[in-house]
Amino acid sequence: MTGVYIYEILFESPNEWALEFVEPYYAFGILNYMDSIRIETISGSATVQFLDTTIFNVITNNNLKNPIYLNKEMDIIKLVSYSFGSLFVDSIIVGDIPGSYLHNIQYGQSISRYFIDGPSFKTNNPTIGEVNSFLGATGKIYGYFYDLDNEILSNKYFYINEGYSREIQQAQGLSGQTNIDDFGFYCAEITSRSYSISKIRIFESPSQTELFLIFPVNIEVNEDDSIKIDFRITISSIENNSLHKVLLNNYPNPAKEFTYFIVDQNINPPSNLNISIFDINGKKIDSFPIFSNKLRYDCSWLSQGVYICTLFSNDRILTTKKLIVVK
């Protein structure tokens, strides 16, 4: 036996909201076996007193034992269900909380899912009580792919699974893959939410595929956006080099005044190793050799932000690590 899933949350006003939940795949009728269902937020919790027992069950403060507040700016919204002594929790994180990719939610918008247990997205077309769709919830990213030598990568394809790129295209009668053309150009329609992309699997054919690390891309997509994003590969192939054998760590991270870089002890002693630091746009801002397995690095001169630290051996990339600098 399992529990129920959050399907959509509508933020109508500071004190008005509606949460829609559905039963899991192939288990309709599970509500008949539920002992209780409860909503939990950062501000409090409340038990659901009654339901309409339809396919799309809608909860508001009118259904609850006591009213609670859903904060679109910062909240962890949990739906807790009990059956036969077992507990099941489904949750969605919104706003300014680590792990959230749902930011800048406006009143009148919904947080929706296309699949019952899939990722969420923002939509300007709430469908409380109905099947969710991509209407009012998509924008586009476009740009070029560049390989490790900064040359155009062409005639391949990829998917952005986090943003339902495949499903959006299939809903339009297309194949579902995002093509990279002869000139390295791509265009992908994805759902409205924030993205942090650091690796992409590139296909030449269904049987020929490689997973690449790229310079991290952090974007927020809203309805009807058209955002230019160039993807730049930093490692030729994660699966075909020594990335799994060589580790680079650093602490503290986030760092303020300094951080220690730690090179995997399997490289002992290190030889012909150096670290290069790049900003989020791919510009190299520092480079230095590594003569031991532990190095103290002064990062007080760096501006606040995210940096990419790449470990090289004789100009061959071994691995990368993210460094976050705070002030």
Q: Which of 194, 216, 235 is the last residue of a domain?
A: 235
Average pLDDT, the chain: 87
In a domain, 60, yes or no: yes
| Domain containing residue 9 | 5-123
Residues above pLDDT 70, as percent of the chain: 89
Q: What's the rounded Cα separation, in Å, for the pair 153 and 185?
A: 9
Residues 158/178, Cβ–Cβ less than 8 Å: yes
Task: Specify whether 214 is located in the same domain as 255.
Answer: no
Nearest-angstrom CA–CA distance, 187 and 181: 10
pLDDT given at position 225: 97
Pair 257, 278 in one domain: yes
Residues 106-162: tens digit of each pLDDT: 999 999 999 888 899 999 999 998 999 999 999 999 999 998 888 999 999 999 888
Task: Provide the pLDDT for residue 244.
Answer: 41
SS (H, E, C) 210-221: EEEEEEEEEEEE
- The pTM score is 0.71
246 and 230, same structural domain? no
Higher pLDDT, 217 or 243: 217
pLDDT band at 270 (very low <50, low <70, confident <90, very high): low
Question: Which tens digits make up the pLDDT trace of 40-82?
Answer: 999 999 999 877 666 788 999 999 999 999 999 999 999 998 8
Shared domain for 222 and 249, answered yes or no, is: no
Look at residues 184, 210, 235 and tell me which one is the last residue of a structural domain.
235
Question: Whole-angstrom Cα distance, residue 62 to residue 49?
Answer: 9
Residues constituting the chain:
327
Q: What is the CATH number of the domain that holds 298?
A: 2.60.40.1930
Contact 263, 248 (CB under 8 A): yes
CATH number of the domain that residue 166 is part of: 2.60.40.1120
Q: Which of 194, 210, 235 is the last residue of a domain?
A: 235
Please give the tally of structural domains in the chain.
Answer: 3
CATH, residue 63: 2.60.40
Q: What is the reported pLDDT for 239?
A: 61
**Residue 128 domain-assigned?**
no
Based on the domain organization, do 65 and 175 belong to the same domain?
A: no
Residue 264 lies in a domain: yes
Is 131 part of any domain? no
Range with the lowest mean pLDDT among 27-36, 166-175, 189-198? 27-36
Query: Would residue 132 count as lying in a domain?
Result: no
Confidence band for 243, pLDDT divided at 50, 70 and 90? very low
Q: Side chain identity at 166, as an amino acid letter? A: R
**Residue 267 pLDDT grade (very low, low, confident, very high; cuts 50, 70, 90):** low
Residue 37 maps to a domain: yes
What token pair was written down for 179?
């093509």
In a domain, 268, yes or no: yes
Whether residue 45 is found in the same domain as residue 103: yes
> Is residue 72 domain-resident?
yes
